[in-house]
Amino acid sequence: MQKSYLRPTYIEVDQQAIYHNVHETKNRLHDDTELFAVVKADAYGHGLIPVARVCREAGATGFCVATMDEAIALRNAQITEPILVLGITSPQTAAIAAVQHISLTVGDLDWLAEATTYLQADTNLPVLNLHLALDTGMGRIGFTEKNNLAAAIQQINESLTFNFEGIFTHFATADEIDQHYFDQQLAKFNDMMSVVSQRPRYVHVANSATSLWHQVCHANMIRFGIGIYGLNPSGSAIELPYELQPALSLYSELVFVKQIPAGAAVSYGATYHASTAEWIGTIPIGYADGWLRRLSGMTVLINGVRCPIVGRVCMDQIMVRLPEKFAVGAKVTLIGRDGDDEISAQEVAEYSNTIHYEIICGLHDRIPRHYLPRRED
């Protein structure tokens, strides 16, 4: 989607907040524990390359992405640290990954067999680093049986084209108060690890939630994701053990202001009618930007005052009810602080019955990202 630089809607990313969140977390880890920054999905909507560079400055020793394309983009930006693709990739990409020194995730024996045929076609390729995924209860990807895991490890260790670099699992409920299912997954992981006679370089089970609230498995690497961006993995269910600073704010401005008479309708479907004469302001953002249609009725901040969205959210515009006539050009805060009030991504998520991950990842590329510089230490 074409970025709209000449429209007054933009995202502001605080690089100092990102640095703080990574640096504080890294300092709390054991000396032998590494931090890989999870920058998939364009760094959760914050911008892949700028975020990766700040994370590296803050102490991240590697990166996790979801796709090969994201990994290659990091390599093209001269990010030389280890990169792990967390999702399953086509075996046909194995040679590309080897050349680019990108680590791949493996979840079954068939993948190994097929990738071997592609790698053996070129004897000059570097060794391909692999991480074995264990499905201990997430139900997504990975080995579920010890015999298959043992066979995969043996095949990798006997191969001249593979290197057993890592092994990991993913907890489904690490961000919940009830630990019952978490403990079940932990027991399953420990049981499956019994066939791993020699631990690889990286053993990692901790996403942001696990790293914040659990110390388990004698792992030596964490995958730090949503915490980078200053958001609580549990939403508001569990208090954070230390401060994280939100990095993303979303702003626009009033582009049109008018007074409508009592009874006048606003937006598609005429679902909203003014009860009295009302001042209505128009803001250039809509569901094509990721400001969801179900956010009708949500408030925004203008001049420090909460103003509700009235009528349905349109593709490119929303309308808000103003307490009085505000000037065209007045700043609008959709996520962020204005004066003594603040609208968080969590508040937006709760209003729209979803999670803050979806809110920030859903903000489309059409909205330009502006980066506040990091303060020099």
User: Letter for the amino acid at 210?
Assistant: T
CA angle 345, 350, 352 (to 5 degrees): 95
Q: Look up 325 and say whether it is catalytic.
A: no
Q: How far apart are CA 224 and CA 293, in angstroms?
A: 31
Contact 71, 87 (CB under 8 A): no
Q: How far apart are CA 357 and CA 96, in angstroms?
A: 30
Q: Which residues pair with 251 in a beta bridge?
A: 10, 333
Residue 139 gets the label, from left (phi > 0), alpha (psi -120 to 50) or beta, of left
Q: How far apart are CA 156 and CA 145, in angstroms?
A: 17
Residue 201 is assigned to a ligand binding site: no
Q: How far apart are CA 246 and CA 298, in angstroms?
A: 20
Look up tokens 């493996």; give the residue. 106
Q: Which residues pair with 143 in a beta bridge?
A: 134
Q: Look up 242 and say whether it is catalytic.
A: no
Please give the C-alpha separations between residue 61 and each of 52, 81, 254, 318, in angstroms, as whole numbers. 11, 6, 43, 42
Contact 285, 295 (CB under 8 A): no
Catalytic residue among 10, 40, 118, 272, which? 40
Please give the C-alpha separations between residue 84 and each of 56, 66, 286, in angstroms, as whole numbers. 15, 8, 35
Residue 223 is assigned to a ligand binding site: no
Catalytic residue among 3, 258, 268, 331, which? 268
Cα-to-chain-centroid distance, residue 324: 38
- Judge residue 377's burial from the number of C-beta atoms within 10 Å of its C-beta, 0-12 exposed, 13-18 middle, 19 or more buried: exposed
Cα-to-chain-centroid distance, residue 158: 36
Contact 256, 38 (CB under 8 A): no
Q: How far apart are CA 205 and CA 138, in angstroms?
A: 12
- Give me the half-sphere count of Cα atoms (radius 13 Å) on the Cβ side of residue 201: 10
Annotated binding-site positions? 140, 315
> Which amino acids are annotated as binding site for substrate, given as ranges?
140, 315
Active site residues: 40, 268
